[in-house]
């Protein structure tokens, strides 16, 4: 039984899963991937729960790919969106509107150092596109460095930064270096940040003119399977990159806004201040919204040209985004994530003692990964078993994410209102499913 939750979903009389799925296959193209053998028709969302066409409730442990930060249809955010929608839905930045300015002020107040200028876009890919452009214009260099196992977007440029085989297409993108991933569980140097940082220096020394435009990384790799970079790595690498004339970009699309519990921004875990920060997903609680924050100096390279997109900073998204920041603070979601996350990680680690298939439990706050292996010594990915358990969890009412190079990592990244009871339910369901398997 899922933990009790006081909400009655509305009756649903719309088309059913099979009909929608048939239409989707016909009109939305074959590459649109979907979770579950029998897709779920989600008709309502309320905080950390989702409801299907039959009114069945599911615990959402993946938050629409780490996007619903405050909770599905959070009432205060909904009010802000509706109020703004009734007044003005769209204007563009060629006119003045207070919502974008208020949101920019609130967002930059969350940033350290001189990160005081923001550009609004509509997604994480667009944010990283803009960051790439800024880095190249500002430094006058072309080369960009990203980590293997990274995900930075699916647009034609950002797919070059992404280094996961399922997302790779043969699209040329000028001079991108994928350096060794400082993955403490699978990386050949374990947690030795210095050795991984040397690989960055080697790439610069052997593979470039000695100058680069920049370096980009997630502090906890999301799509890559909740891989936290070896401690101390970013400090060493930021130094190397700055010496080579480049700027350092932190991709906070998944790690921002307190989800990791220990810090508001992921980069703070490693004690660095980036030159450019990109964000999306949780910033809008589901609204299409992204942002790039940088220093006035870097932003000045765009001053002579027009940097513009039609929807970026749209009044509705800005009003919604501002409400998200306010709600996460008011409800103390960062410390809540720390609290629930440490409870969950503790319980998962005890589960690990009983189930050999769990090779690693990692992450922070409500950004956790459970890597499944067929034997712990060789760390052979338990791909088929993960697929079976994934379906079983759904049957039990828990929706988790999948990730990692081999799809053998469960990602637990729920809305940040997820409770300890919810966490216990996930652990019990996983325990039951593994025992059955
Ligand atoms: N960066 C990271 C870390 C991401 O996880 C994602 C999306 N999974 C992106 C960028 C791209 O965001 P979007 O899908 O909004 O373009």
Q: Note the pLDDT tens digit of each residue in 313-340.
A: 999 999 999 999 999 999 999 999 999 9
pLDDT in tens, 126-138: 999 999 999 999 9
Rounded Cα distance, 437 and 432, in Å: 9
pTM over 0.95, yes/no? yes
Q: Report CA(253)–ligand 1 centroid distance (Å).
A: 6
**Length of the chain, please?**
437
Ligand 1 pocket mutation pick from 62, 125, 276 by most atoms within 8 angstroms of CB: 125
When mean pLDDT is compared across 91-100, 190-199, 220-229, the lowest value belongs to 91-100
pLDDT score recorded for residue 166 = 83
pLDDT (tens digit, 9 = 90+) per residue, 387-399?
999 999 999 999 9
What is the phi-psi region of residue 226: left when phi exceeds 0, alpha when psi lies from -120 to 50, beta otherwise? Answer: left
Neighbour-count burial for 50-72, b at 16+ CB within 10 Å, e otherwise: bbbbeeebbbbbbbbebbbbbbb
Give residue 170's pLDDT: 76
Per-residue pLDDT tens for 219-276? 999 999 999 999 999 999 999 999 999 999 999 999 999 999 999 999 999 999 999 9
Q: In the chain, pLDDT over 70 holds for what percent of residues?
A: 100
pLDDT at 336: 98
Q: Which residues contact 405 (CB under 8 A, 6 or more apart)?
A: 149, 164, 165, 224, 225, 381
- E-strand spans in 117-202? 117-121, 144-147, 176-179
- d(CA 100, CA 199) in angstroms, rounded, equals 41
What's the rounded Cα separation, in Å, for the pair 292 and 282? Answer: 14
Do 296 and 271 form a contact (C-beta atoms < 8 A)? no
* Mean pLDDT, rounded, for 104-111: 98
CA of 62 from ligand 1 middle (Å) equals: 14
222 alpha carbon – ligand 1 mean position (Å): 9
């Amino acid at each position: 039984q899922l933990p009790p939750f006081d909400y009655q979903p509305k009756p649903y009389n719309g088309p059913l899963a099979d009909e929608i799925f048939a239409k989707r296959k016909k009109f939305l193209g074959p590459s649109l991937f979907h979770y579950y053998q029998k897709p779920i028709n989600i008709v309502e969302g309320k905080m950390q729960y989702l409801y299907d066409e039959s009114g069945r409730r599911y615990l959402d442990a993946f938050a629409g790919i780490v996007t619903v930060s405050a909770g599905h249809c959070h009432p205060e955010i909904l009010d802000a969106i509706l109020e703004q929608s009734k007044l003005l839905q769209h204007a563009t930045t060629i006119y003045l509107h207070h919502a974008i300015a208020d949101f920019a002020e609130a967002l930059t107040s969350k940033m350290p150092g001189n990160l005081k200028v923001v550009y609004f876009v509509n997604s994480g890919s667009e944010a990283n596109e803009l960051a790439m452009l800024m880095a190249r214009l500002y430094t006058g260099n072309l080369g960009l460095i990203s980590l293997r196992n990274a995900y930075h977007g699916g647009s034609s440029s950002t797919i070059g930064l992404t280094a996961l085989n399922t997302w790779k297409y043969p699209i040329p993108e000028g001079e991108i270096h994928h350096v060794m991933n400082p993955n403490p569980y699978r990386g050949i140097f374990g947690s030795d940040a210095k050795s991984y940082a040397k690989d960055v220096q080697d790439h610069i020394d052997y593979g470039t003119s000695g100058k680069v435009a920049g370096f980009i990384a997630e502090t906890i790799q999301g799509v890559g399977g909740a891989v936290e970079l070896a401690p101390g790595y970013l400090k060493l690498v930021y130094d190397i990159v700055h010496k080579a004339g480049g700027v350092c970009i932190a991709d906070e699309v998944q790690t921002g806004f307190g989800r990791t519990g220990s810090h508001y921004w992921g980069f703070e875990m490693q004690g660095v201040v980036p030159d450019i920060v990109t964000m999306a997903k949780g910033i809008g609680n589901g609204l299409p919204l992204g942002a790039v924050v940088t220093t006035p100096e870097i932003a000045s390279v765009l001053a002579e040209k027009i940097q513009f997109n039609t929807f970026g900073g749209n009044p509705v998204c800005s009003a919604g985004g501002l409400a998200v920041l306010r709600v996460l603070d008011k409800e103390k979601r960062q410390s809540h994530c720390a609290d629930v996350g440490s409870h969950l990680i503790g319980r998962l680690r005890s589960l690990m003692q009983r189930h050999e298939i769990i090779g690693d439990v990692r992450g922070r706050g409500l950004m956790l990964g459970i890597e499944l292996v067929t034997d712990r010594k060789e760390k052979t990915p338990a791909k088929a078993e993960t697929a079976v358990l994934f379906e079983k969890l759904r049957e039990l009412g828990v929706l988790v994410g999948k990730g990692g190079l081999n799809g053998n990592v469960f990602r637990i990244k729920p809305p940040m209102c997820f409770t300890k009871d919810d966490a216990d339910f996930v652990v019990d369901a996983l325990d039951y499913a593994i025992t059955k398997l």
